[in-house]
Amino acid sequence: MFSEAELEFLRSQRIARFATVGPTGWPHVVPVMYTMGPKRGIAMQGRVELIAPERARLNPTHKFTWGI
Q: pLDDT tens digits, residue range 44-54?
A: 676 655 555 55
User: How far apart, in Å, do the first and last CA atoms of the chain sit?
Assistant: 16
What pLDDT, on a 0 to 100 scale, did the predictor assign at position 5?
Answer: 92
% of the chain with per-residue pLDDT over 70: 62
pTM, two decimal places: 0.57
pLDDT tier for residue 40 given thresholds of 50, 70 and 90:
low
Q: Supply the mean pLDDT for the chain.
A: 73
Residue 30 lies in domain: 4-65
10-14, 37-41, 53-57: the lowest-pLDDT one: 53-57
Q: How many domains does the chain have?
A: 1
3-state helix, strand, coil in the chain (%, to 5): 30, 40, 30
Of 7, 66, 4, 1, the closest CA to residue 31 belongs to 66
* Measured distance CA(52)–CA(33) in Å, rounded: 15
